[in-house]
Chains A and B, each alone.
Chain A
Amino acid sequence: MTKKKIKLYFQPDKVNEPITYHLVKEYDIKFNILRAVVEEKGGRLLIEVEGQPAQISKGIAYLQSIGVDVKEMNEYVMKDVSRCTNCGMCVSICPAGAIEMDRETWEVIFDQGKCIACGLCVTACPPQAMKLKI
């Protein structure tokens, strides 16, 4: 089993496709919706998918075949180390437990792998060191 975070962008005419249903039914992919935005010019969806690597690849191919733009995301939130003061304001804000304080060095450790791209740390960070890339 592998986990991946992917960003989907679809045109207005595709918003009625039950794509998540197909992903579960046809490719046995577990997924978690992290962000969803629907606007006049289309929709953007950030999902975390979990399944067999081959099935995930097939699922992505299916999405592309129906015209959904798929982008694999490795980094959603970026930390600008030159602005971070290591205060730790973000630590208690993060619902995913992706940010921790190292109590030896008192440095803030950000674990990209656990990040769910909610963006709460971005608006909570006083020196504006956290930036959302999505």
Chain B
Amino acid sequence: MKRTYEEINAKIQRGDAVVMTAEEAIKLAESNGIEKAAKEVDVVTTGTFGAMCSSGAFINFGHSEPPIRMKRVWLNGVPAYTGVASVDAYIGVTEEREGNGPPYGGAHVIEDLVSGKAVHLRATASGTDCYPRKDIDTYISLRTVNQAYMYNPRNAYQNYGVATNSSDRTLSTYMGKLLPHYGNMTYSSAGQLSPLLKDPTLRTIGIGTRIFLGGGIGYVAWEGTQYKTTPPVKNDVPVGPARSLAVIGDLRGMSTEFLQPLTFTGYGISLAIGIGIPIPILDEDIMRTAVLRDDQLFAPVFDYAIQSRNRKPIAEFSYAQLKSGSVELFGKKVQTSSLSSYYKARIIADRLKKMIEESEFMLTRPVERLPEERTQRALDVCSREDVL
């Protein structure tokens, strides 16, 4: 069985493509077998909704009168990066508001913009012959700015480690609150619904792939930062963090239903983003991975009490075990929590399915494939000569 992008898109255009969420496709493959399921289904949709710290948005504010070349810029008190052209800035989601007060950061600024609120803009400059103005204090919104698009260097991680804590104090981490003495365990992948687990070698997800991003349409821009292909594999899928995506998409068209600022007490701020990716069923091989179940997908467990990049996995569990609510670790029953919302992941896979069924979302062949081999490097303290 072979199918081309063109054939799939022609069917989508006619409104008769057979689209299923990964959960639905799993059920079909279980009852009818992978061969028949591949024949029947054109597209499998996936979804994930989790903390994606490596995210932010570029904004062009437009020129003031007289013009300013912004050197420092704050959005609702949150510093943005403006070391690019005069009125361009990048607001990162983890950047925090200066001063005291309730937690508020770049993620909240993006939420406010997307929900249509006015955002306070303050900028300072040194003043030049071509940009004489030295400061500005005003308000912006998505209606007033030129471009406002998300550019996220690392999203949609292909699998991730599970966190626990052997120490005798509670740890505040980006994996949430970790109770002492292996008091709990947190994981962050949607497992059988998670996009990059369903096409593990990224045959169909590459540069230019159209995706569901934060409620709107986005595209894969590049390999995500820390993209790597080296983790051990089980059932063709890496066990632990492997590939990731850099994605881009217009803030206009996104929805706060799929963007949620997160506050990790004692750690900082992040943004939960909803991402959905369609998997075109080009052949049986891709169907085989698209219907991998939670009991066939595994994640390593790391002890966050060990503050080292070299910590080794202390256990390994399937997503079926993790999602059951508790696992057994060193003879002790440990309760599990998810950091990503499976509830929302389902909504996203379903929403994307409907968009494709209603001919609102066409599939794309990658312009370029992402690396098939990549190792991850570390940062060491070196001399000038060492790094050459």
Distance (whole angstroms) from the CB of A133 to the closest CB of chain B: 17
Chain A residues contacting B265 (CB-CB under 8 Å) are 123-124
Q: Mark contacts of A81-106 with chain B using CB atoms, 8 A cut-off: 1 yes-contact digit, 0 otherwise.
A: 00101111111110000000101011
Pair B338/A88 contact, Cβ less than 8 Å: yes
Partner of A89, one of B183, B270, B324, B337: B337
Chain A residues contacting B341 (CB-CB under 8 Å) are 85-88, 106
Q: Which of A92-131 contact B (CB under 8 A)?
A: 92-93, 101, 103, 105-107, 120, 123-124, 126-128
Pair A127/B337 contact, Cβ less than 8 Å: no
Pair B343/A92 contact, Cβ less than 8 Å: no
Pair A106/B343 contact, Cβ less than 8 Å: yes
Distance (whole angstroms) from the CB of B323 to the closest CB of chain A: 7
Chain B residues contacting A92 (CB-CB under 8 Å) are 179, 183-186, 334-337
Partner of B335, one of A85, A91, A126, A127: A91
Of B148-156, B200-208, B222-230, B255-263, the one contacting chain A is B255-263
Pair B343/A89 contact, Cβ less than 8 Å: no
> Would A91 and B260 be within 8 Å (CB), given that A101-B325, A126-B176 are in contact?
no
Pair B260/A124 contact, Cβ less than 8 Å: no
Pair A90/B344 contact, Cβ less than 8 Å: no
Chain A residues contacting B325 (CB-CB under 8 Å) are 91, 101, 103
The interface size of chain B toward A, counting residues with CB under 8 Å, comes to 34
Bound CA span A93–B337, Å = 8
The interface size of chain A toward B, counting residues with CB under 8 Å, comes to 21
Bound CA span A128–B102, Å = 11
Chain A residues contacting B49 (CB-CB under 8 Å) are 85
Q: Kindly state whether residue B264 has any CB partner on chain A within 8 Å.
A: yes
> Would A127 and B261 be within 8 Å (CB), given that A86-B344, A89-B338, A92-B335 are in contact?
yes
Q: Which of B336-380 contact A (CB under 8 A)?
A: 336-344, 346
- Name which residue of chain B comes closest to A87, CB basis: B341
> Would A83 and B260 be within 8 Å (CB), given that A89-B339, A92-B185, A124-B177 are in contact?
yes
Bound CA span A124–B262, Å = 10
> Would A93 and B262 be within 8 Å (CB), given that A85-B343, A87-B339, A103-B323 are in contact?
no
Pair B177/A87 contact, Cβ less than 8 Å: no
- Name which residue of chain B comes closest to A125, CB basis: B263
Secondary structure class of chain A's binding surface, majority of residues: loop
Bound CA span A42–B295, Å = 55
Partner of B177, one of A83, A93, A107: A93
- Name which residue of chain A comes closest to B261, CB basis: A127
Chain A residues contacting B103 (CB-CB under 8 Å) are 128
Distance (whole angstroms) from the CB of A4 to the closest CB of chain B: 28
> Would A127 and B262 be within 8 Å (CB), given that A88-B337, A91-B337 are in contact?
yes
Pair B177/A127 contact, Cβ less than 8 Å: no
Bound CA span A123–B103, Å = 12
Distance (whole angstroms) from the CB of B129 to the closest CB of chain A: 47
Pair B179/A93 contact, Cβ less than 8 Å: yes
Bound CA span A92–B323, Å = 12
Q: Kindly state whether residue B20 has any CB partner on chain A within 8 Å.
A: no
Bound CA span A114–B208, Å = 50
Bound CA span A33–B279, Å = 54
Chain A residues contacting B184 (CB-CB under 8 Å) are 92-93
Distance (whole angstroms) from the CB of A51 to the closest CB of chain B: 32
Chain A residues contacting B176 (CB-CB under 8 Å) are 89, 93, 124, 126
Q: Kindly state whether residue B254 has any CB partner on chain A within 8 Å.
A: no
Pair B323/A107 contact, Cβ less than 8 Å: no
Q: List 30 A-B contacts (CB under 8 A).
A: A85-B49, A85-B272, A85-B341, A87-B50, A87-B337, A87-B338, A87-B341, A88-B338, A88-B342, A89-B186, A90-B337, A91-B337, A92-B183, A92-B184, A92-B186, A92-B334, A93-B176, A93-B179, A93-B184, A101-B325, A103-B323, A103-B325, A105-B343, A106-B342, A124-B177, A126-B176, A126-B264, A127-B262, A128-B103, A128-B263
The 5 closest A-B pairs by CB, nearest first: A92-B184, A126-B262, A92-B335, A86-B343, A92-B337
Q: Which residues does B use to contact A, with CB under 8 Å?
A: 49-51, 103, 176-177, 179, 183-186, 260-265, 270, 272, 323-325, 334-344, 346
Extra inter-chain contacts (7) besides given A93-B337, A106-B343, A127-B263, CB under 8 Å: A83-B260, A85-B260, A85-B344, A90-B337, A92-B185, A92-B336, A101-B325
